[in-house]
Amino acid sequence: MAEKLYRAKEFREAEQYYSHVESGNAHYPMAQLRLGTIYYLTERPKEAEKCFLIFLKFKKSPEVYCLLAGAQFNQRNFNLATNSAQQALQLDPKFANAYTVLGMIHTAEKDFPRAQADYREALKLNDNDSDTWFMFGRALFLHDDFAEAAKAFDRALKINPQSVRSYENLARTQDTMGDVTGAEESFKKGLNVSQTQKYFDSHIYVEYGEFLLKLDRLTDSQSVLEEGSRIAPRDAEIRYALSRVYFRMQHLQEAAQEGETALRLGGPDYKIDFLLAQIYTAMGNPQEASKHASRAAETAPNPNP
């Protein structure tokens, strides 16, 4: 039953089954691998790391070492992630995903020449991997090579037309290049695809809403973000983006309500507090404005740590 649920991507139900498999059970290693994968896909990297390490005590696997590296990368433990990816390559020197992970690490470390070499090695071994093309596109974008980034995202989409994040990043790249029409088309395609997915991806709603806001198409931005909020009413990022739109529209009561909801759902965030300080100032409420301005100052990142 657990495996059937897992393959159907019913992760919440599958997790319940796998978490009850005891260490003496013959299926325990596989249960830990499945649990680790579920944790990884649902953005719980610390728990994923623990499960992958348990599985690797039973069986060495380049694939699982790469999953472990990904979980460590998501915790910004780059040295551990590098070691795990290298362990995968020791087991299989031609395991392409290990080079993809190394590319991700070197991109995060702002070592673009090494990242580019890693991605090209991965694609030499397997040029039909959508994730690698996507990650390579991200690296190219961050290196301001927008034309090549767009090609990489386009290639990722040809391999996997259901990749919402590839549509989103292609749209952002096109927008950066000044192709507003192309960017909007990519955003719309991504939104359409997202509505067919089992799990909601809020990022494309936020990015599309921000894109429309920048174009001063306030009603269109409001419509996109309100749709996202209906689908995921507990998403703090969408609520914050919607608060910004309402503020620009001078719908101050709605802006304050969405901003306060974003804080309640997402926890302390200097950006939201700063926005609320502006909103309450415009509403003529200096007490609330001062409270949020103080909070924003307390939680803002230190530019000179």
pLDDT given at position 10: 86
Show the tokens assigned to 178: 């000044």
Q: Each residue of 12-34: b (16+ CB within 10 Å) or e?
A: eebbebbeebeeeeeebbbbbbb
The one-digit pLDDT tens for each residue of the chain (305 residues) are 778 888 888 888 899 989 999 999 999 999 999 999 999 998 899 999 999 999 999 999 999 999 999 999 999 999 999 999 999 999 999 999 999 999 999 999 999 999 999 999 999 999 999 999 999 999 999 999 999 999 999 999 999 999 999 999 999 999 999 999 999 999 999 999 998 887 788 899 999 999 999 999 999 999 999 999 999 999 999 999 999 999 999 999 999 999 999 999 999 999 999 999 999 999 999 999 999 999 999 888 865 54
CA atoms within 13 A on the CB side of 81: 25
pLDDT value at residue 304? 54
Work out whether the CA dihedral 125, 129, 133, 135 comes out positive or negative.
Answer: negative
* Rounded (5°) CA angle 236-146-124: 100
pLDDT in the model for residue 303: 58
Q: Please answer whether residues 101 and 71 qualify as being in contact, where contact means their C-beta atoms are separated by less than 8 angstroms.
A: no
CA distances from 161 to 158, 193, 230, 235 (A): 6, 8, 25, 25
Q: What is the spatial distance between Cα 236 and Cα 241, in angstroms, rounded to a whole number?
A: 9
pLDDT of res. 167: 98
Residues 6 or more apart from 137 whose CB is under 8 A from it? Answer: 149, 150, 151, 152, 153, 156, 166, 169, 170, 173
Give the pLDDT of residue 163: 96
189 CA to centre of own chain = 18
Q: Please, what are the domains in the chain?
A: 133-201 (1.25.40.10), 211-305 (1.25.40.10)
**Structure tokens given for 132:** 């690698």
Task: List phi, psi (to 5°) of 267.
Answer: 85, 180
What are the backbone angles phi and psi of residue 52, rounded to the nearest 5°?
A: -65, -40
Q: Please report the pLDDT score of residue 197 as a whole number.
A: 84
The answer to whether the predicted template modeling score (pTM) of the entire model surpasses 0.75 is: yes
Asked whether the beta carbons of 64 and 72 are under 8 A apart, the reply is no
Kindly state the DSSP code that residue 302 receives in the 8-state scheme: P
